[in-house]
Amino acid sequence: MTISTRAATYKDEAWLFQLHEDAHKELVEAAYGPWIAVQQQEFFRPLVEEHEVFVLGLDGVDVGALYLGRREEDTWLELMEVAPDSQGQGVGAAILSWVVEQSAKAGHGTMLQVHKVNARAKRLYEREGFAEVGETDTHHLLRHP
Nearest of 113, 107, 142 to residue 128 by alpha carbon: 142
Mean pLDDT by 10 residues, the chain (145 residues): 92 95 91 92 90 94 95 92 92 93 93 92 94 95 93
pTM of the predicted model over 0.95: no
pLDDT at 110: 96
Domains of the chain: 3-144 (3.40.630.30)
Quote the CA–CA distance of 25 and 18 in Å, as a whole number: 10
Sheet holding 109-115, edge to edge: 3-7, 52-58, 61-71, 74-82, 109-115, 139-144, 131-135
DSSP 105-134: HTT-EEEEEEETT-HHHHHHHHHTT-EEEE
Pairing mode, strands 109-115 and 74-82: parallel
